[in-house]
Amino acid sequence: MKPSPFLSNGTPENSRAIPGALFHFLATGEQTDGQFSLMYIEVHKGNEPPPHTHKNEDECYYIIEGQIRFWIGNEVFDAKAGDFVNLPKNVPHRFELQSDYVKELMWITPAGLEKWFWDNSAPSPEMKALPVMTEPPPAELIAHFVQSLSEYGVEMVKP
Protein backbone atom coordinates (compact mmCIF):
# COMPACT_ATOMS: atom_id res chain seq x y z
CA MET A 1 0.00 0.00 0.00
CA LYS A 2 1.32 3.41 -0.92
CA PRO A 3 0.77 6.06 1.78
CA SER A 4 -1.60 8.86 0.82
CA PRO A 5 -1.02 12.51 1.67
CA PHE A 6 -2.94 13.64 4.75
CA LEU A 7 -3.30 16.52 7.19
CA SER A 8 -3.60 15.80 10.90
CA ASN A 9 -3.92 17.67 14.18
CA GLY A 10 -4.94 16.93 17.74
CA THR A 11 -8.66 16.18 17.94
CA PRO A 12 -10.81 14.43 20.54
CA GLU A 13 -10.98 11.44 18.17
CA ASN A 14 -7.21 10.93 17.99
CA SER A 15 -6.34 11.95 21.57
CA ARG A 16 -5.82 9.46 24.38
CA ALA A 17 -4.88 9.93 28.04
CA ILE A 18 -2.95 8.11 30.73
CA PRO A 19 -2.13 9.34 34.23
CA GLY A 20 -0.01 12.45 33.70
CA ALA A 21 0.06 12.46 29.89
CA LEU A 22 -2.05 13.23 26.84
CA PHE A 23 -1.21 11.72 23.45
CA HIS A 24 -2.37 13.14 20.11
CA PHE A 25 -1.86 10.46 17.43
CA LEU A 26 -0.89 12.60 14.43
CA ALA A 27 0.36 9.80 12.15
CA THR A 28 -0.06 6.06 12.62
CA GLY A 29 1.40 3.07 10.86
CA GLU A 30 -1.93 2.58 9.11
CA GLN A 31 -1.56 6.04 7.56
CA THR A 32 2.16 5.70 6.68
CA ASP A 33 2.24 2.09 5.47
CA GLY A 34 4.12 1.16 8.63
CA GLN A 35 7.03 3.49 7.98
CA PHE A 36 6.63 5.75 11.01
CA SER A 37 4.25 7.12 13.61
CA LEU A 38 4.17 10.58 15.14
CA MET A 39 2.59 11.66 18.41
CA TYR A 40 2.30 15.08 20.01
CA ILE A 41 2.57 14.46 23.76
CA GLU A 42 1.81 16.69 26.74
CA VAL A 43 3.36 15.08 29.82
CA HIS A 44 3.60 16.03 33.49
CA LYS A 45 6.57 15.29 35.74
CA GLY A 46 6.25 12.00 37.60
CA ASN A 47 5.12 9.99 34.59
CA GLU A 48 8.52 8.79 33.38
CA PRO A 49 9.07 5.13 32.42
CA PRO A 50 11.83 2.95 33.89
CA PRO A 51 14.98 2.20 31.86
CA HIS A 52 14.14 0.14 28.78
CA THR A 53 15.29 -0.92 25.32
CA HIS A 54 13.41 -1.05 22.02
CA LYS A 55 14.30 -3.98 19.76
CA ASN A 56 12.16 -2.96 16.79
CA GLU A 57 12.16 0.80 16.42
CA ASP A 58 14.13 4.00 16.78
CA GLU A 59 12.50 6.67 18.91
CA CYS A 60 13.06 10.39 18.38
CA TYR A 61 11.88 13.39 20.37
CA TYR A 62 11.55 17.04 19.44
CA ILE A 63 11.05 19.19 22.54
CA ILE A 64 8.52 21.99 22.07
CA GLU A 65 8.25 23.22 25.66
CA GLY A 66 10.03 22.30 28.90
CA GLN A 67 13.19 20.32 29.67
CA ILE A 68 14.01 16.60 29.79
CA ARG A 69 17.17 14.77 30.80
CA PHE A 70 17.78 11.65 28.69
CA TRP A 71 20.11 8.79 29.60
CA ILE A 72 20.85 6.94 26.34
CA GLY A 73 23.43 4.18 26.66
CA ASN A 74 26.40 5.90 28.32
CA GLU A 75 25.37 9.38 27.19
CA VAL A 76 23.38 12.02 29.09
CA PHE A 77 21.54 14.76 27.21
CA ASP A 78 19.72 17.75 28.70
CA ALA A 79 17.12 18.64 26.07
CA LYS A 80 15.13 21.86 26.04
CA ALA A 81 12.65 23.53 23.70
CA GLY A 82 13.97 23.36 20.14
CA ASP A 83 16.19 20.31 20.74
CA PHE A 84 15.94 16.98 18.90
CA VAL A 85 17.02 13.72 20.56
CA ASN A 86 17.58 10.40 18.77
CA LEU A 87 17.19 7.15 20.74
CA PRO A 88 18.42 4.28 18.53
CA LYS A 89 16.91 0.84 18.89
CA ASN A 90 18.80 -1.67 21.05
CA VAL A 91 20.26 1.10 23.23
CA PRO A 92 18.97 1.24 26.83
CA HIS A 93 17.45 4.58 27.74
CA ARG A 94 15.30 6.46 30.17
CA PHE A 95 14.32 10.06 30.72
CA GLU A 96 13.29 12.38 33.51
CA LEU A 97 11.46 15.67 33.18
CA GLN A 98 13.47 18.58 34.53
CA SER A 99 10.46 20.90 34.30
CA ASP A 100 6.98 20.25 35.67
CA TYR A 101 5.48 19.94 32.19
CA VAL A 102 6.75 19.08 28.71
CA LYS A 103 5.27 19.28 25.23
CA GLU A 104 7.05 17.12 22.68
CA LEU A 105 6.79 15.28 19.41
CA MET A 106 7.66 11.57 19.49
CA TRP A 107 8.59 9.96 16.18
CA ILE A 108 8.75 6.15 16.03
CA THR A 109 10.24 4.35 13.03
CA PRO A 110 9.18 1.90 11.87
CA ALA A 111 5.63 2.28 13.14
CA GLY A 112 3.91 -0.23 15.41
CA LEU A 113 4.59 0.79 18.99
CA GLU A 114 1.97 3.54 18.77
CA LYS A 115 -0.61 0.73 18.92
CA TRP A 116 0.60 -0.10 22.45
CA PHE A 117 0.11 3.52 23.54
CA TRP A 118 -3.37 3.57 21.99
CA ASP A 119 -4.40 0.25 23.55
CA ASN A 120 -3.09 1.20 27.01
CA SER A 121 -4.68 4.64 27.22
CA ALA A 122 -8.20 6.00 27.57
CA PRO A 123 -10.24 8.14 25.19
CA SER A 124 -9.95 11.82 26.05
CA PRO A 125 -12.84 13.74 24.50
CA GLU A 126 -11.94 16.75 26.68
CA MET A 127 -8.29 16.41 25.54
CA LYS A 128 -6.81 16.37 29.06
CA ALA A 129 -4.37 14.01 30.77
CA LEU A 130 -5.62 11.81 33.57
CA PRO A 131 -4.36 12.91 37.02
CA VAL A 132 -0.78 11.91 37.87
CA MET A 133 -0.72 8.87 40.14
CA THR A 134 0.31 9.77 43.69
CA GLU A 135 0.93 6.16 44.71
CA PRO A 136 2.99 3.52 42.92
CA PRO A 137 0.90 1.56 40.41
CA PRO A 138 -0.44 -1.82 41.56
CA ALA A 139 1.80 -4.82 40.88
CA GLU A 140 -0.80 -6.28 38.47
CA LEU A 141 -0.69 -3.13 36.33
CA ILE A 142 3.11 -3.14 36.24
CA ALA A 143 3.09 -6.83 35.26
CA HIS A 144 0.57 -6.09 32.49
CA PHE A 145 2.69 -3.24 31.11
CA VAL A 146 5.91 -5.29 31.21
CA GLN A 147 4.23 -8.25 29.48
CA SER A 148 2.37 -6.21 26.87
CA LEU A 149 5.44 -4.09 26.07
CA SER A 150 7.55 -7.23 25.62
CA GLU A 151 5.10 -8.26 22.86
CA TYR A 152 6.21 -5.09 21.05
CA GLY A 153 9.92 -5.75 21.60
CA VAL A 154 10.32 -3.32 24.51
CA GLU A 155 12.26 -4.78 27.43
CA MET A 156 12.78 -3.25 30.85
CA VAL A 157 16.44 -3.09 31.93
CA LYS A 158 18.06 -2.66 35.32
CA PRO A 159 19.41 0.84 35.94
Q: What's the CATH code of the domain at 40?
A: 2.60.120.10
Residue 4 located in a structural domain? no
Question: In which domain, by residue range, is 88 found?
Answer: 12-156
CA 28 to chain centre: 13
Write the pLDDT tens digit of every residue in 47-106.
888 999 999 999 999 999 999 999 999 999 999 999 999 999 999 999 999 999 999 999
Residue 149 located in a structural domain? yes
Stated pTM of the model: 0.93
CA 40 to chain centre: 9
Residue 139 located in a structural domain? yes
Residue 97 located in a structural domain? yes
Residue 142 located in a structural domain? yes
The number of folded domains in the chain is 1
Residue 145 located in a structural domain? yes
Return the pLDDT at 118. Answer: 97
